[in-house]
Amino acid sequence: SQQGEEDPQALSIQEGENATMNCSYKTSINNLQWYRQNSGRGLVHLILIRSNEREKHSGRLRVTLDTSKKSSSLLITASRAADTASYFCATDLSGSARQLTFGSGTQLTVLP
């Protein structure tokens, strides 16, 4: 099964509203990353949060990490139609695994 699972699978909001997406994972991590994907092609790295960090900001993005609950959230404030995309969390696992493990994604639609 996927290491990271996003919730909800799909989210539809009006422009200007905030969008919150959640990610849960199963095992210890070095860091957790969020990516965005448009049109089923390449992914764009948004933000990385390390396991010893609890919150991180980048522009309109805010990411939180709760290692005790093995969960993370991505908040996009003041959403725009251009934010419409799929958003994936990815975990860099502790231990020997060196590749990122991606969740199944949240499809965000921002309505103008």
Partner 1 sequence: GAGVSQSPSNKVTEKGKDVELRCDPISGHTALYWYRQSLGQGLEFLIYFQGNSAPDKSGLPSDRFSAERTGGSVSTLTIQRTQQEDSAVYLCASSWGTVSGYTFGSGTRLTVV
Which residues contribute to the site for partner 1 (CB under 8 A)? 2, 30-31, 33, 35, 40-45, 48, 88, 92, 97-105
Residue 33 pairs in a beta bridge with 48, 90
- Mapped onto helix, strand or coil, the DSSP state of residue 83 is helix
Reported as type and span, the H/E element at residue 110 is strand 106-111
Contact 92, 39 (CB under 8 A): no
Q: Considering beta carbons, is residue 19 or 102 the nearer one to partner 1?
A: 102
State in angstroms the smallest separation of the CB of 63 from partner 1.
13
- In the complex with partner 1, the residue whose CB is nearer, 42 or 112, is 42
Nearest-approach distance from CB 99 to partner 1, in angstroms: 5
Return d(Cα 61, Cα 47) in angstroms, integer: 8
Q: What's the closest the beta carbon of residue 35 comes to partner 1, in angstroms?
A: 8
